[in-house]
Homo-oligomer: A and B are copies of this chain.
Amino acid sequence: MHFEELIKTIKERREVMQVTQEALAELSRVGLRTLKQFESGKGNPTLLTLQKLADVLGMEVCLKLKNVTRSK
């Protein structure tokens, strides 16, 4: 998942859950400004910020192997 996908995933998940940026910001204890920047594609969140958001959205950050089948 590259950058844009991760952002999109967070944003879509938030919308599916019908939570506003403001509510998510409060619940995750991430500044509203930070969340706004993140969702609008600006900035480069820290892992901690990403985890705080993901957590509230019932998601988790993970690392998985690419090319399970073959390179390319």
Contact = CB atoms under 8 A, between A and B. Distances in A.
Interface of A: 1-3, 6, 9-10, 13, 44-48, 50-51, 54, 58-67
- Copies of this chain per assembly: 2
Contact of A63 (B48, B62, B65, B66): B62
A67 B58 contact: yes
A14 to B, nearest CB: 12
A61 B58 contact: no
Contacts of A63: 1, 6, 9-10, 13, 54, 59-62
B2 A51 contact: yes
Contacts of A51: 2-3
Contact of A46 (B13, B44, B59, B66): B44
